[in-house]
C-alpha cells in the first residue's frame, strides 16, 4: 500500500490488480490502474502527489518509470540500463533509485517547467557492506526529511558464538560518504 503525503489517495493491490482510491470524497471506490501499469513494482508517490514512480518491465529489463497521477498519462522511463526502489526527495525535486546491479545510488531531476526529466546521474557507489536489497523487496534505504542524507542498511558480520548474548543495535554514521571517499 502507498499513501500520498496529503492522505488523499491510497494505492494498493486488490483482487490481484493495482488500483487506487480517493480518500477525499464520500464514494470510496478502487479504480484499477491502466493495463500497462498492472506489472509495476515498488510504487512511490511524489511528496507533492502529482507523480507516481515505479519499477516496470515495460522495456524488457526492469526500469524506473514516472507517470502523472491520477491521470496516468505521460509515462516516461527514468532509468537507463535498469533500476529499482525509487524514492523521492522530500520536495519532489529529485528521484533517487538504485542501479540495476544495486551498487550505485542514482538520481534524476525533473526539468524546470515541464514533465520531462534530466538524464539520471550516479550520486555515489554503495560500499560492499551496504545492502541494496533486491528488486521487488521493500526499499533498503530512505531519504532524510531534508533530503540531504540517506539511511541505509549495512550488512554486519557477527562472529559471536553466543546467540543469546547478541543484542540488537544501531550505529549512526554521519558523513559516511565523505569517510568512504577518503578510504578509496
- Residues 80 and 102: their CA atoms lie apart, in Å, by 13
- Asked whether residue 179 is assigned to any structural domain, the reply reads yes
CATH number of residue 130's parent domain: 2.120.10.30
- Asked whether residue 20 is assigned to any structural domain, the reply reads no
- Asked whether residue 10 is assigned to any structural domain, the reply reads no
Residue 166 has pLDDT above 60, yes or no: no
- Asked whether residue 4 is assigned to any structural domain, the reply reads no
- Asked whether residue 11 is assigned to any structural domain, the reply reads no
Give the largest Cα separation in the chain, rounded: 59
Domain count, the chain: 1
- Residues 78 and 99: their CA atoms lie apart, in Å, by 11
- Pairing assessment for the beta strands 2-3 and 9-14 based on DSSP bridges: antiparallel
- Asked whether residue 17 is assigned to any structural domain, the reply reads no
- Asked whether residue 26 is assigned to any structural domain, the reply reads no
| pTM, full prediction | 0.82
Segment 156-160 mean pLDDT? 71
Residue 179 has pLDDT above 70, yes or no: no
**What's the domain range around 92?**
36-183
Confidence band for 33, pLDDT divided at 50, 70 and 90: very high
Amino acid at each position: 500500500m502507498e499513501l500520498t503525503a496529503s492522505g488523499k489517495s491510497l494505492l494498493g493491490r486488490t483482487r490481484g490488480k493495482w488500483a487506487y482510491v480517493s480518500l477525499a470524497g464520500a464514494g470510496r471506490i478502487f479504480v484499477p490502474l491502466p493495463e500497462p501499469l498492472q506489472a509495476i513494482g515498488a510504487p512511490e508517490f511524489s511528496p507533492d502527489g502529482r507523480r507516481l514512480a515505479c519499477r516496470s518491465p515495460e522495456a524488457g529489463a526492469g526500469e524506473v518509470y514516472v507517470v502523472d497521477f491520477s491521470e496516468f498519462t505521460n509515462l516516461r522511463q527514468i532509468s537507463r540500463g535498469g533500476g529499482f526502489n525509487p524514492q523521492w526527495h522530500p520536495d519532489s525535486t529529485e528521484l533517487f533509485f538504485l542501479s540495476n546491479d544495486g551498487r550505485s545510488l542514482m538520481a534524476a531531476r525533473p526539468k524546470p517547467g515541464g514533465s520531462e526529466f534530466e538524464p539520471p546521474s550516479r550520486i555515489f557507489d554503495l560500499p560492499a557492506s551496504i545492502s541494496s536489497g533486491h528488486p521487488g523487496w521493500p526499499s533498503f534505504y530512505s531519504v532524510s526529511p531534508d533530503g540531504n542524507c540517506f539511511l541505509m542498511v549495512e550488512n554486519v558480520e557477527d562472529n559471536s558464538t553466543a546467540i543469546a548474548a547478541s543484542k540488537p543495535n544501531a550505529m549512526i554514521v554521519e558523513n559516511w560518504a565523505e569517510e568512504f571517499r577518503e578510504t578509496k
